[in-house]
């Protein structure tokens, strides 16, 4: 009898755990699904880096993204300023499983270099964004646990699959009523201390379907540094194709 | 003349009335004292601060420069774990696997922001057109022998690692954990880090007994400061025992011992309340306050008690009468000596080192309370406690000194005043000359003596791996993104090379090294390209590529500012003393000034440099304080003695002991630290008592009894000789206890104070009487009233 009770309790507990996992995964999938079908987009960004004393440094970038369904998205980032890196661009193929592929074109030597992509947890051009924060958010890159629902917000904890990730977990807040768009992400470092908070703001609905934030504000709570990403525009009519995301395309820009 | 008589009488009357009041209301007085102590004591909170920043005032320019550098890049408080495998080879599969494991574990240290080890070093290499940036040894457990051999070759040829993370022989390696403490409460944050580190290392040692571990860094330094404070605080217990013993030996009386104990305890508990009310966080220098107060406070009580007992035992007076008489005789002397001591301690506020402000203020308050309790609670307790009527005895029952030796001493001075004066002055002159041979040294590692684990671990590190002191320069490029300018990089490279040529330098961490290394990797690891890239675009784009390839926590933010307009050069140096350290930093500054454009000029900063300059800064700022103390105390003395000439003459026995002290120190260590700068003002307040007592008795003999100078000196010896020896012994025992501290700011200060106090007594017994005889007019002085303040 005791054993039966124990089994029931255990299976109930397991059931609750797996239910939380399922619910978390469902939400992530719903978010992915809601954003399906944008095909390709292009936007211009301003990145503002701020240190503890408020010293500011700016960079300008252009980002192009190509939506892929069977594998992760492809993206191209072109630096327009500072002047000495103008024209430098990165090409990334995100993969649902395994490490991403990444190339960098250096106009100064007119060469494309492949970057060893074991490391993607480091800061992106000295900012508070890690490369892994900016790359395409594929569902397969995390495992999930649903935490709670607050009004129209769903809070899900996500655990990176990649052992080289800089995080133990992220706590993501989705907006159920607005295409499961992400409102905030809290990042916890390897010792499980709160490291950064990313806040999305200035959301606008494009093509009646796709929510895009105009501003991403990343605050590092440990170093007190801050980086703001401002999206100056979004173009969903660029009609980019696979040919625009090749090593040769890198050189062309 | 009448006016003086009036003052004399009124002062006299005041003390008598005071004593009568206390005796009459003994219970009220005692209960009030207990109540005051309780009220104050309940406010008492003892908080400690071990952060080395406490040694620097807010306006300290070196601290400002250092903090500015840390804000610009990253705040680098660290823990360095040094691992020495018993087989003397880091590069075995077993050892590397263990190091990799510990490195991973180290990321879990609270507040950690970065972990640098041999295994996670970001090794950059070219393969065809690809750039690989990866851990030098990842998954070490599955490496083959030849792979491990290759790792060893890379590591021992890597300028970023050798003499920083690994020694050239490959037998000792380090894991450097950088922590970013929020700095809200170091008393909580630091132990949190250290407990985690201690747990981690003891676990590691259990699993991998083949390693020896030594721990150092800024966080352990802070811990060592904490622990030094606690340890020095614990000296209070020993001092308390000494107080009980000394009082008992000197008074041979249980009641007196109890009363003294109560007075010093009341004083200390009240002072604890002061510490709590003022919100002072205790640091190693200020944590010695209980011992100091005990030492200084007990002297007050002993003076009053000895006179009282003498009156009872020798003169057969009754208890109350003896008490009133003792109070009449001692009230003003105790007041004057307390006043000069308070002045002496308060002058510490003129210095530039906050822990000594605290020490000065705490002890000054404690001395005020000691005066209050000695003149209230002490007589009250003596009036309350039952007292056996003692038989009148002939000899002074308490004397255990040979009385004849004073007479011998006095007859020597009387017979040969010129010889004594000349020889004394010659010795003082010689020692004064020697005292200029002392040099400042504030190597903060050496603040801790070799019994402290932190010191021995740190010594091990500087003997076997790398330097523990550094100098940092933040070198600007004059424009945003300018650090990629080849002109800047080449100059930086020249600076790096110049630094390596300096004999003091162990390691240089400069951005030019990074630029060279990436350039080489971008050219298929061709050694010909181990140089600064040719164009700004190349350098900037290589850097961009490299930065994109670095993992979490191992970025370049600690050596490049956000604007990419400045880089940080960290120079690790050998153990240098303060003057050499300052000279080295200045040489670097001069090189930059002479060889680079203006925007690249920078000043050297580092904790070690801050400490190096601290002694000089403290000495400069204390100079004014010392002069003021000297003037104030001399004024008090002139007033007390009512004699301008003798007031001036007193400068000699008051100043000479300090010069003698530093002269003797030059023979002993020849290096002085910040803690010793305060001794002038402090000891002045203490040793002046000797002079005052001696001179007042001399004057009394001259004025009231009309004695010749020779006879007056003899009188002074007879009357105060014993009292001076007694207080000197009490003071010596207190400072001797402090001199056992393992913390040099305290132990050196205490040791030189011991020398100064002994010197003061000798000078007061030899030079002072000789000078008094030599400067006195030959003709017999008219009979006059002596000081209004001294009656004994």
Per the structure block, which two tokens stand in for B308? 């009282």
Mean pLDDT check: name the lowest of A119-123, B368-372, B428-432, B490-494: A119-123
Roughly how many angstroms between the first and final C-alpha of chain B, as a whole number?
21
Distance CA(A229)–CA(A49), nearest Å, equals 9
Q: Is the pLDDT of residue B440 over 90?
A: no
**Which H or E run contains B625?**
helix B607-641
Q: Shortest Cα distance from A137 to chain B (angstroms)?
A: 18
Q: Which residue carries 């991998």 as its tokens? A: B208
B182 → chain A, closest CA residue: A222
Helix (H, G, I), strand (E, B) or coil at B162: strand
Q: Are B552 and A190 inside 8 Å of each other by CB?
A: yes
Counted across chains A and B, CB pairs separated by less than 8 A come out at: 141
Distance CA(A168)–CA(A15), nearest Å, equals 24
Distance CA(A110)–CA(A251), nearest Å, equals 7
Q: Are B538 and A51 inside 8 Å of each other by CB?
A: no
**Residue B126 touches chain A, beta carbons under 8 Å:** no
Q: Shortest Cα distance from B149 to chain A (angstroms)?
A: 23
Residues whose CB falls within 8 Å of the CB of residue A69, separated by 6 or more in sequence, listed in order: A36
DSSP-H helix ranges across B347-449: 354-375, 377-384, 403-415, 417-435
Q: List all residues of chain A from 49 to 78 with a beta carbon under 8 Å from chain B.
A: 49-53, 55-57
The residues that bridge with A61 in the sheet, in sequence order, are A45, A79
Per the structure block, which two tokens stand in for B574? 């050998």
Q: Are B541 and A85 inside 8 Å of each other by CB?
A: yes
Residues whose CB falls within 8 Å of the CB of residue B188, separated by 6 or more in sequence, listed in order: none
**Residue B479 touches chain A, beta carbons under 8 Å:** no
Q: Is the pLDDT of residue B545 over 90?
A: no
| pLDDT in the model for residue B781 | 46
| pLDDT in the model for residue B308 | 87
| Cα→Cα distances B559→A216, B532, B565, Å | 26, 17, 11
Q: Shortest Cα distance from B509 to chain A (angstroms)?
A: 19
Q: Are A85 and B544 inside 8 Å of each other by CB?
A: yes
Mean pLDDT check: name the lowest of B29-38, B330-339, B501-510, B731-740: B330-339
Number of other residues whose CB lies within 10 A of the CB of residue B364:
24
**pLDDT tens digits, residue range B675-712?**
888 888 888 888 888 888 888 888 888 887 888 888 89
Q: Torsion over CA of A215, A220, A221 and A222, rounded to 10 degrees? A: -170
The 3-class SS string of B709-739 reads HHHHHHHHHHHHHHHHHHHHHHHHHHHHHHC
| pLDDT in the model for residue B403 | 52
Give B-chain residues touching A190 at CB under 8 angstroms: 107-108, 552
User: Testing the interface with A: which of B132, B139, B548 to mutate, by most A Cβ within 10 A?
Assistant: B548
Nearest to B753, CA basis, from B654, B683, B659: B683
pLDDT band at residue B39 using 50, 70 and 90 as cut-offs: very high
Q: Which of A104, A126, A165 sits opposite B562 (nearest CB)?
A: A126
Q: Shortest Cα distance from A245 to chain B (angstroms)?
A: 19
Distance CA(B31)–CA(B382), nearest Å, equals 14
Nearest to B218, CA basis, from B538, B510, B594, B611: B611
Q: Shortest Cα distance from B454 to chain A (angstroms)?
A: 26
Distance CA(B48)–CA(B282), nearest Å, equals 4
Give A-chain residues touching B122 at CB under 8 angstroms: 119
- Torsions phi, psi for B791 (to 5 deg): -120, -15
Q: List all residues of chain A from 87 to 116 with a beta carbon under 8 Å from chain B.
A: 88, 90, 102, 104, 106-109, 111-116
Q: Are A126 and B560 inside 8 Å of each other by CB?
A: yes
CB contact at 8 A, B295 and B314: no
DSSP-H helix ranges across B502-535: 511-522
B484 → chain A, closest CA residue: A84
Tally of structural domains, chain A: 1
A182: containing domain = 5-252
Q: What is the ipTM of this complex?
A: 0.87
Rounded CA Rg of chain A: 20
Residues whose CB falls within 8 Å of the CB of residue A122, separated by 6 or more in sequence, listed in order: A130, A131, A166, B547, B548, B549, B550, B551, B552, B553, B554, B555
B546 → chain A, closest CA residue: A115
CA angle at B131 for the pair B128 and B132, rounded to the nearest 5°: 110
User: May I ask the CATH class of domain B2-51+224-444+611-775?
Assistant: mainly alpha
B564 → chain A, closest CA residue: A57
Q: Are B562 and A225 inside 8 Å of each other by CB?
A: yes
**Which tops the pLDDT comparison, B216 or A24?**
B216
Q: Is the pLDDT of residue A12 over 70?
A: no
Per the structure block, which two tokens stand in for B63? 């601290």
Distance CA(B247)–CA(B240), nearest Å, equals 11
Q: Is B341 left (phi over 0), alpha (psi -120 to 50) or beta?
A: alpha
**Which H or E run contains B133?**
strand B130-135
CA angle at A24 for the pair A18 and A25, rounded to the nearest 5°: 90
Per the structure block, which two tokens stand in for A43? 């936007």
Nearest to B268, CA basis, from B368, B349, B340: B368
CA angle at A38 for the pair A34 and A42, rounded to the nearest 5°: 130
Give A-chain residues touching B564 at CB under 8 angstroms: 57, 82, 126
**Residue B506 touches chain A, beta carbons under 8 Å:** no
Q: Shortest Cα distance from A205 to chain B (angstroms)?
A: 32
pLDDT band at residue B9 using 50, 70 and 90 as cut-offs: low
Distance CA(B780)–CA(B708), nearest Å, equals 6
Q: Are A51 and B72 inside 8 Å of each other by CB?
A: yes
**pLDDT tens digits, residue range A135-192?**
777 888 899 998 988 889 999 999 998 888 889 999 999 998 888 899 999 999 988 9
Give A-chain residues touching B476 at CB under 8 angstroms: none
Q: Are B551 and A122 inside 8 Å of each other by CB?
A: yes
Nearest to B302, CA basis, from B354, B268, B340, B264: B264
Per the structure block, which two tokens stand in for B720? 């105060």
- Torsions phi, psi for A96 (to 5 deg): -65, -35
State the average pLDDT over residues B298-309.
84
State the average pLDDT over residues B500-528.
91
Give the pairing of strands A153-160 and A167-175.
Answer: antiparallel
- Torsions phi, psi for A223 (to 5 deg): -95, -10
CB contact at 8 A, B95 and B85: yes
Q: Are A223 and B180 inside 8 Å of each other by CB?
A: yes
Q: Are A116 and B536 inside 8 Å of each other by CB?
A: no
pLDDT band at residue B790 using 50, 70 and 90 as cut-offs: very low
Give B-chain residues touching A82 at CB under 8 angstroms: 480-481, 540, 564
We report the CATH number of the domain holding residue A159 as 2.50.20.10
pLDDT band at residue A14 using 50, 70 and 90 as cut-offs: low
| pLDDT in the model for residue B780 | 47
Q: Torsion over CA of B493, B497, B499 and B500, rounded to 10 degrees? A: 140
| pLDDT in the model for residue A10 | 67
Residues whose CB falls within 8 Å of the CB of residue B37, separated by 6 or more in sequence, listed in order: B266, B269, B270
Q: Torsion over CA of B761, B762, B766 and B767, rounded to 10 degrees? A: -80
Give B-chain residues touching A112 at CB under 8 angstroms: 129
**Residue A84 touches chain B, beta carbons under 8 Å:** yes
Start-end of CATH 1.20.1640.10 domains in chain B? 2-51+224-444+611-775
| pLDDT in the model for residue B5 | 54
What average pLDDT is seen over chain B? 87
Q: List all residues of chain A from 9 to 48 with a beta carbon under 8 Å from chain B.
A: none
State the average pLDDT over residues B581-595.
95
pLDDT band at residue B405 using 50, 70 and 90 as cut-offs: low
Helix and strand numbers (H, E) in chain B are 27, 13
**pLDDT tens digits, residue range B317-376?**
888 888 998 888 888 888 888 998 999 999 999 988 999 999 999 999 999 999 999 999
**Residue A122 touches chain B, beta carbons under 8 Å:** yes
Q: Torsion over CA of B782, B785, B787 and B790, rounded to 10 degrees? A: 120
Helix (H, G, I), strand (E, B) or coil at A106: strand
What average pLDDT is seen over chain A? 86
Percent of residues, chain B, with pLDDT higher than 70:
94
pLDDT band at residue A206 using 50, 70 and 90 as cut-offs: confident
**Which tops the pLDDT comparison, B472 or A240?**
B472
User: Testing the interface with A: which of B77, B486, B551 to mutate, by most A Cβ within 10 A?
Assistant: B551
Roughly how many angstroms between the first and final C-alpha of chain A, as a whole number?
72
Distance CA(B531)–CA(B518), nearest Å, equals 9
CB contact at 8 A, A193 and A15: no
Q: Are A104 and B544 inside 8 Å of each other by CB?
A: yes
Nearest to A167, CA basis, from A111, A129, A211, A199: A129
Q: Are B110 and A193 inside 8 Å of each other by CB?
A: yes
The 3-class SS string of B181-233 reads CCCCCHHHHHHHHHHHHHHHHHHHHHHCCCEEEEEECHHHHHHHHHHHHHHHH
B560 → chain A, closest CA residue: A126
Per the structure block, which two tokens stand in for B749? 């200060």
């Amino acid at each position: 009898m005791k054993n039966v009770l124990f089994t029931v309790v255990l299976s109930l507990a397991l059931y609750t755990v797996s239910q939380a996992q399922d619910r978390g995964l469902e939400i992530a999938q719903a978010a992915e699904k809601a954003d399906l079908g944008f095909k390709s987009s292009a936007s211009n960004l301003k990145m503002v880096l701020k240190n503890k004393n408020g010293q500011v440094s700016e960079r300008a970038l252009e980002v192009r993204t190509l939506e892929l369904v069977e594998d992760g998205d492809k993206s191209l980032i072109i630096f327009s300023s500072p002047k000495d890196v103008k024209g430098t661009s990165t090409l990334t193929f995100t993969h649902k499983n395994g490490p991403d592929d990444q190339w960098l074109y250096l106009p100064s030597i007119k060469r494309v270099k492949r970057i060893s992509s074991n490391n993607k947890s480091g800061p992106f051009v000295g900012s508070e964004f890690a490369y892994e924060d900016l790359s395409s958010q594929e569902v397969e890159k995390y495992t999930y646990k649903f935490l709670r629902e607050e009004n129209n917000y769903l809070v899900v904890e996500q655990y990176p699959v990649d052992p080289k990730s800089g995080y133990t977990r992220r706590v993501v807040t989705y907006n159920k009523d607005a295409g499961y768009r992400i409102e905030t992400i809290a990042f916890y470092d390897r010792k499980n201390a709160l490291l950064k908070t990313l806040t999305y703001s200035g959301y606008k609905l494009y093509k009646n379907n796709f929510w895009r934030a105009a501003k991403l504000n990343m605050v590092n709570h440990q170093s007190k540094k801050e980086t703001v990403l401002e999206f100056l525009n979004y173009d969903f009519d660029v009609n980019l194709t696979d040919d625009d995301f090749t090593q040769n395309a890198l050189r062309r820009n | 003349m009448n006016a003086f008589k009036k003052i004399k009488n009124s002062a006299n009357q005041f003390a008598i009335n005071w004593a009568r009041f206390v005796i009459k209301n003994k219970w009220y007085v005692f209960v009030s004292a207990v109540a005051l102590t309780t009220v104050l004591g309940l406010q008492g909170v003892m908080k400690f601060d071990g952060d080395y920043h406490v040694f620097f005032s807010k306006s300290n320019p070196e601290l400002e420069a250092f903090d500015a550098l840390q804000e610009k890049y990253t705040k680098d408080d660290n823990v360095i774990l040094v691992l020495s495998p018993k087989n003397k080879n880091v590069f075995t599969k077993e050892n590397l696997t263990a190091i990799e494991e510990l490195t991973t574990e180290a990321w879990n240290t609270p507040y950690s922001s970065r972990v640098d080890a041999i295994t996670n070093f970001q090794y950059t290499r070219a393969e065809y057109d690809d750039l690989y940036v990866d851990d030098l040894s990842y998954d070490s457990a599955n490496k083959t022998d030849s792979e491990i051999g290759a790792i060893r070759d890379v590591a021992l040829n890597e300028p970023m690692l050798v003499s920083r993370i690994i020694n050239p022989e490959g037998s000792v390696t380090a894991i450097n954990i950088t922590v970013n403490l929020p700095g809200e409460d170091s008393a909580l944050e630091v132990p949190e880090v250290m407990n985690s580190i201690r747990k981690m290392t003891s676990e590691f040692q259990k699993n991998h007994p083949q390693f020896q571990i030594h721990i150092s860094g800024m966080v352990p330094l802070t811990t060592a400061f904490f622990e030094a404070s606690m340890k020095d605080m614990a000296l209070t217990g020993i001092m308390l025992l000494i107080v009980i013993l000394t009082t008992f030996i000197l008074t041979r009386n249980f009641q007196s011992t109890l009363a003294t104990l109560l007075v010093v305890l009341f004083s200390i508990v009240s002072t604890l309340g002061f510490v709590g009310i003022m919100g002072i966080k205790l640091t190693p220098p200020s944590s010695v306050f209980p011992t100091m107060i005990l030492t200084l406070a007990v002297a007050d009580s002993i003076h009053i008690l000895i006179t009282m007992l003498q009156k009872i035992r020798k003169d057969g007076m009754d208890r109350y009468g003896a008490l009133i008489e003792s109070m009449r005789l001692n009230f003003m002397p105790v007041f004057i000596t307390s006043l000069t001591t308070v002045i002496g301690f308060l002058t510490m506020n003129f210095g530039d080192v906050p822990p000594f402000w605290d020490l000065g203020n705490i002890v000054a308050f404690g001395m005020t309370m000691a005066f209050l309790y000695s003149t209230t609670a002490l007589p009250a307790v003596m009036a309350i406690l039952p007292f056996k009527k003692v038989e009148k005895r002939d000899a002074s029952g308490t004397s255990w000194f040979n009385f004849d030796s004073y007479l011998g001493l006095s007859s020597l001075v009387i017979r040969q005043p010129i010889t004594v004066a000349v020889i004394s002055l010659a010795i003082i002159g010689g020692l004064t000359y020697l005292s200029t041979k002392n040099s400042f040294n504030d190597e903060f590692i050496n603040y801790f003596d070799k019994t402290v684990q932190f010191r021995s671990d740190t010594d091990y590190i500087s003997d076997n791996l790398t330097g523990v002191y550094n100098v940092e320069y933040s070198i600007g490029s004059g424009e945003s993104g300018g650090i990629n300018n080849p002109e800047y990089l080449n100059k930086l490279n020249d600076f790096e090379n110049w630094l390596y040529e300096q004999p003091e330098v162990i390691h240089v961490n400069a951005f030019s090294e990074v630029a060279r290394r990436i350039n080489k990797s971008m050219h298929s690891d061709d050694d010909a390209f181990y140089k600064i890239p040719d164009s700004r675009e190349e350098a900037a784009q290589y850097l961009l590529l490299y930065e994109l390839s670095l993992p979490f926590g191992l970025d370049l933010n600690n050596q490049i500012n956000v604007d990419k307009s400045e880089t940080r050069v960290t120079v690790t140096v050998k153990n240098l003393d303060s003057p050499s350290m300052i000279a080295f930093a200045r040489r670097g500054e001069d090189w930059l000034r002479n060889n680079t454009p203006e925007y690249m000029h920078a000043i050297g900063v580092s904790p070690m440099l801050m400490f190096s300059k601290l002694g000089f800064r403290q000495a400069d700022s204390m100079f004014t304080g010392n002069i003021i103390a000297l003037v104030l105390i001399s004024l008090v003395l002139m007033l007390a003695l009512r004699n301008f000439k003798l007031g001036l003459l007193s400068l000699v026995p008051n100043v000479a002991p300090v010069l003698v002290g530093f002269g003797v120190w030059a023979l002993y260590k020849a290096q002085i630290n910040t803690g010793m700068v305060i001794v002038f003002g402090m000891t002045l307040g203490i040793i002046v008592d000797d002079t005052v007592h001696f001179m007042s008795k001399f004057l009394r003999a001259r004025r009231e009894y009309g004695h010749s100078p020779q006879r007056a000196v003899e009188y002074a010896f007879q009357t105060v000789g014993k009292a001076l020896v007694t207080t000197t012994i009490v003071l010596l025992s207190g400072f001797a206890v402090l001199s056992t501290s393992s913390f040099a700011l305290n132990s050196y200060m205490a040791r030189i104070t011991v020398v100064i106090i002994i010197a003061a007594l000798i000078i007061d017994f030899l030079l002072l009487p000789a000078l008094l005889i030599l400067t006195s007019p030959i003709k017999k002085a008219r009979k006059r009233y002596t000081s209004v303040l001294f009656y004994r």
